[in-house]
């Protein structure tokens, strides 16, 4: 079973729990997820099956969108509602315009410090294990991009928001840092991931829905096939010799290429920034490899083999 499953993650399950449930439901071993969600968070989780797990580098770097709620008044050790308060509660809340102006300061590129309780690693160990063990460590900032951070509703002490950001952004840190700027403290109280790249929450299925479809042998209703993935890259169809070479990761000459279909570019894709990568297919429609052109040799180099035969 090769492809992606878009899962609507419920609250209080870890990302590892979701993958384990999918493995159990479908009786498969090879599965993984393309981006962690905290147990508190809900929403879109991409679970890769079989050969699709090799595409992790492409999906892990994709932009993400969230809807959520921040609570003003005090900060917590985990930067969300699961942690102990680290400041006294303040009930004199800022005005809506003050919150809006503070949120706008985060838009664009910024250096963000991850939460002390997170999966981010320090000297090979996740921060949460160091924090729980009361070990001292240095929180180093990471450069991230906030494409937009919109105030959707303000009902003090709750701030409803929507954000689109680069991979690696911690929304818990956004909430915590907003509280620091406003001077009243804040933490994340609810979060839902609504999009990853061109995948959206409305296309997801619950674990129960996936179970019912699997039992009814309707796998095509929840599995996005391998051949449909990464449509932003041109599709290259190879002859029989080219297909054998691709499966071995060997250089492929132009004479082994039967056809190159035009790329699909969504409205959100910046073609000037898009690296020229080709999806290599056999004449039978098998997704074989991802390749780059080597102009000096007038050939193509498969740098990631998907189907080795």
3-state helix/strand/coil string of 38-64: CCCCEEEEEEEEHHHHHHHHHHHCCCE
| Residue of 2, 8, 17, 38 with catalytic role | 38
Q: Does residue 38 carry a catalytic annotation?
A: yes
Which residues are CB-contacts of 277 (< 8 A; sequence separation ≥ 6)?
233, 290, 291, 292
Two structure tokens written together for 165? 């950001």
Alpha carbon separation from 56 to 35, 49, 106, 197, 266 (Å, rounded) = 9, 11, 28, 13, 20
Burial class (CB in 10 A: 0-12, 13-18, 19+), 82: middle
Is residue 285 within 8 Å of residue 307, measured between CB atoms? no
CA distance linking residue 271 with residue 268, whole number of Å: 9
CA distance linking residue 263 with residue 54, whole number of Å: 21
Is residue 216 within 8 Å of residue 240, measured between CB atoms? no
Least Cα distance to 230 among 5, 8, 52 occurs for 52
Phi and psi angles of residue 60, each rounded to the nearest 5 degrees, phi first: -70, -25
User: Angle at Cα 244 formed by Cα 242 and Cα 245, nearest 5°?
Assistant: 65
End-to-end CA distance of the chain: 15
Catalytic positions, please? 38
């Amino acid at each position: 079973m090769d492809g992606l499953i878009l899962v609507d993650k419920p609250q209080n399950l870890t990302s590892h729990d979701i993958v384990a449930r999918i493995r159990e439901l479908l009786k498969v071993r090879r599965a993984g997820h393309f981006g962690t969600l905290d147990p508190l968070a809900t929403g879109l989780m991409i679970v890769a099956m079989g050969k699709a797990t090799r595409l992790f580098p492409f999906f892990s770097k994709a932009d993400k969108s969230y809807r959520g709620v921040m609570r003003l008044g005090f900060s917590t050790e985990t930067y969300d509602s699961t942690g102990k308060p680290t400041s006294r509660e303040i009930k004199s809340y800022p005005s809506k315009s003050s919150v809006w102006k503070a949120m706008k300061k985060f838009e664009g590129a910024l250096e963000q410090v991850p939460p002390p309780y997170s999966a981010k690693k320090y000297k090979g160990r996740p921060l949460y294990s160091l924090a729980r063990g009361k070990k001292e460590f240095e929180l180093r900032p990471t450069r991230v991009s906030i494409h937009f951070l919109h105030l959707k509703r303000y009902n003090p002490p709750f701030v409803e928001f929507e954000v689109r950001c680069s991979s690696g952004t911690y929304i818990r840190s956004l909430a915590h840092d907003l509280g620091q700027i406003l001077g009243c403290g804040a933490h994340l109280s609810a979060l839902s991931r609504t999009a990853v790249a061109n995948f959206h929450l409305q296309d997801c299925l619950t674990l129960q829905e996936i179970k019912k479809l699997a039992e009814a042998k309707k796998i095509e209703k929840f599995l996005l096939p391998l051949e449909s993935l990464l449509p932003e890259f041109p599709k290259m169809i190879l002859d029989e010799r080219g297909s054998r070479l691709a499966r071995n990761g060997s250089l492929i000459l132009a004479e082994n290429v039967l056809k190159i279909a035009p790329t699909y570019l969504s409205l959100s894709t910046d073609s000037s920034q898009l690296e020229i990568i080709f999806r290599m297919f056999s004449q039978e429609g098998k997704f074989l490899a991802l390749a780059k052109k080597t102009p000096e040799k007038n050939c193509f180099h498969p740098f990631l083999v998907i189907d080795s035969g």
